[in-house]
Each structure stands twice: as C-alpha cells, then as structure tokens.
C-alpha cells in the first residue's frame, strides 16, 4: 500500500517543529524513507511541500536541509498571526455553526477548570485546540490554511511562557466565544486582537542547540489508518 505524501509530510513537519531535526541539518531521502518506513517517492513529494511552506530549503551540493529562519522572519510570523487571528474571529461570528460553538464552549469550560486547578500543561494544548477551532469556524479555507501554517512555524521558532494569570486568560477566551455566539463580528475581532497583543509578549525565541543532528527514533508510518 502506497503511503500518501501528506502523511509523510505531517510526520517530517512534526519532527522539525519538535526539534528532532535540528535547523540546518540535512534531510536525505534515504534517511527519511528508512525512518518512516516508506519509499523515497512520498518523501520527495513531502520535501517539496515543506520547502514551499518554509520548513525546508535546498542548498547547492547539500540538497534538502531544515531551514534556518532569521529573527526578523520569526518576528514577522507573530505579527501576521496578530493580524489574522482577529480576522478569523470576525468571520467566525458570521459563519460559525452550532457544532463550532459547542466545541468552543466545551474548551472554555475545560480551560477555566484547568486554570483554577493550575494544570498548566493541559492549558497549553487546550489553548491550541481553542484557536484551531476558532479558525475552523471562520469558514474560510485559505485563512484556516494560513493560520494552521503560522501555528506550526511559531511553535517551531518560539517557546511560549505560561500566562501569569491563566484564569483571566481563559475568561478572555470565554468573552470571544460569547461575541462569536451573538454574531458580533466587531467585538469578536476587537477581543481577539487584545488577547493576541497580550499573549504575543509571552513568546521567546528558541535557540539552536549547536551542531545539527537527528535525535531519537521514530516508528514506521501506520499504514492501516492512513494517518500518523
């Protein structure tokens, strides 16, 4: 069974974001095919996609390598997210479904509960799911794609410090959902913009850890479910 290139692409991207492949390290088709238990064909296709996304670059005499973004490029990504997240919230207020609202409200309830208990690691993942769902509720495939790519890149380039006041942070999430539920696009945009301005200051650039290398091992791609 041929493994789809998008599954291999997801695996490589996730490993780049997680730091398994260091910035600047070579990504040979042979190594990647062996690592994920696939042929070189989907690896080649995945590398082309990742190059278009900015995670991979092709160097003369070296081939495909993990990209090494500059500090300015990293700062530009944060600025783009600050601009696009409010737009997504505004559109969500106009296009969301009851299904989106149900998920968003459920995430807010969980987030507020975890915040009161001081469960920081849970809050990190819940926050990611919240913003992903909010983007999905925008009903705009292009915007969803851009925000998804931005989140991947920001997670790759930055460490995000836990909010000093998580209960207040999740109250902001709740207010955004209330505005989206009422169909108040202007308020949803304004609240999200204010929230993004506050959270941007918690981002700290990741630093390279010296010589590029590959760490750990990875099981083969699961072919049964067609996903990773």
CATH code at 22?
1.10.10.10
Q: How far apart are CA 217 and CA 212, in angstroms?
A: 16
Q: Do 118 and 221 fall within a single domain?
A: no
168: region left, alpha or beta (phi > 0 left; psi from -120 to 50 alpha):
alpha
Q: Do 186 and 122 fall within a single domain?
A: yes
Q: How far apart are CA 144 and CA 70, in angstroms?
A: 25
> Which of 87-96, 117-126, 202-211 bottoms out in mean pLDDT, i.e. has the lowest?
202-211
Q: Do 78 and 150 fall within a single domain?
A: yes
Q: Do 51 and 141 fall within a single domain?
A: no
Please tell me the pTM assigned to this model: 0.81
Structural domain span for residue 61: 1-68+208-228
Q: Tell me the HSE value of 71 on the side-chain side, using a 13 A CA sphere.
A: 6
| Total domains, the chain | 2
Mean of the per-residue pLDDT values of the chain: 88
Which among 136-140, 151-155, 208-212, 223-227 has the top mean pLDDT? 136-140
Q: Do 50 and 127 fall within a single domain?
A: no
The pLDDT value given to residue 124: 84
pLDDT in tens, 154-165: 999 998 887 778
Q: What is the DSSP letter of 201?
A: T
| pLDDT confidence bin for 2, thresholds 50/70/90 | low
pLDDT in tens, 168-213: 999 999 999 999 999 999 999 999 999 999 998 889 998 766 433 3
Phi, psi of 214 (to 5 degrees): -110, 130
Whether 172 and 179 have beta carbons less than 8 Å apart is answered as no
Q: Do 117 and 63 fall within a single domain?
A: no
Give the residue from 220, 216, 228, 209 showing the smallest Cα distance to 24.
209
Average pLDDT of span 83-110: 97
> Which of 24-28, 105-109, 205-209 bottoms out in mean pLDDT, i.e. has the lowest?
205-209
């Amino acid at each position: 069974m041929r493994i789809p290139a998008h599954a291999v692409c997801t695996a490589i991207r996730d490993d780049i974001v997680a730091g398994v492949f260091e910035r600047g390290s070579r990504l040979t088709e042979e190594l990647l095919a062996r690592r994920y238990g696939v042929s070189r064909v989907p690896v080649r296709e995945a590398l082309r996609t990742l190059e278009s996304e900015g995670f991979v670059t092709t160097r003369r005499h070296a081939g495909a390598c993990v990209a090494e973004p500059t500090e300015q490029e990293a700062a530009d990504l944060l600025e783009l997210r600050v601009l696009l997240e409010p737009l997504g919230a505004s559109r969500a207020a106009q296009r969301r479904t009851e299904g989106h609202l149900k998920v968003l409200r459920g995430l807010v309830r969980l987030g507020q509960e975890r915040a009161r208990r001081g469960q920081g690691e849970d809050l990190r993942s819940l926050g990611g799911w919240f913003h992903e769902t909010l983007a999905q509720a925008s009903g705009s495939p292009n915007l969803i794609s851009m925000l998804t790519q931005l989140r991947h890149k920001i997670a790759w380039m930055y460490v995000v410090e836990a909010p000093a006041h998580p209960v207040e942070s999740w109250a902001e999430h709740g207010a955004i959902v209330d505005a989206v539920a009422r169909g108040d696009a202007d308020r949803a945009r304004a609240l999200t913009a204010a929230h993004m301005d506050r959270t941007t200051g918690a981002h700290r650039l990741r630093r390279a850890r010296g010589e590029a290398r590959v760490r750990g091992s990875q099981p083969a791609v699961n072919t049964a479910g067609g996903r990773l």
